[in-house]
């Protein structure tokens, strides 16, 4: 199975920026969408940003205007640029790739911790 390797998490003060990346270990066929899903302690994993194979983006209301999702289709890599971070953004951020190939599948990264201090 293809693996997604995340990087870029860390500790940042409120108001600061942070960039996350998620790279596939090898080419993934028939990608439908890629996205970022944070999970805070005691909470469910929630969607904050997705991007389709055609480039359409979708954001949770809480991050609109602050986060930007992008991708590099030649490298099957998805990025999340986070600006104006808030303590409420603190969570483990998981990247996801949804593919229709091989009977359809969701591929998840290992997660990267983002901690925003106030």
70 or 74, greater pLDDT: 70
Residues 38-57 as b/e (b if ≥16 CB within 10 A, e otherwise) read beeeeeeeeebbbbeeeeee
Q: Tell me the β-bridge partners of 58.
A: 50
Q: What confidence score (pLDDT) does residue 74 get? A: 87
Average pLDDT, the chain: 95
Residue 61: φ, ψ to 5°: -55, -35
pLDDT in tens, 92-109: 999 999 999 878 899 999
Mean pLDDT over 37-63 rounds to 96
The two tokens of residue 43 are 């909470």
Average pLDDT of the residues in 42-61: 96
């Amino acid at each position: 199975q293809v693996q997604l390797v995340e990087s870029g998490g860390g500790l940042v003060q409120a108001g600061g920026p942070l960039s996350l990346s998620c790279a596939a270990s090898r080419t993934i066929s028939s990608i439908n969408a890629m996205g970022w899903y944070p999970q805070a302690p005691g909470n469910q994993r929630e969607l904050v940003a997705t991007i389709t194979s055609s480039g359409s983006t979708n954001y949770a209301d809480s991050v609109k205007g602050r986060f930007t999702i992008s991708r590099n289709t030649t490298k099957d890599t998805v990025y999340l640029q986070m600006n104006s971070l808030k303590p409420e953004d603190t969570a483990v951020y998981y990247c996801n790739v949804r593919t229709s190939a091989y009977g359809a599948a969701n591929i998840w990264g290992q997660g990267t911790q983002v901690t925003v201090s106030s």
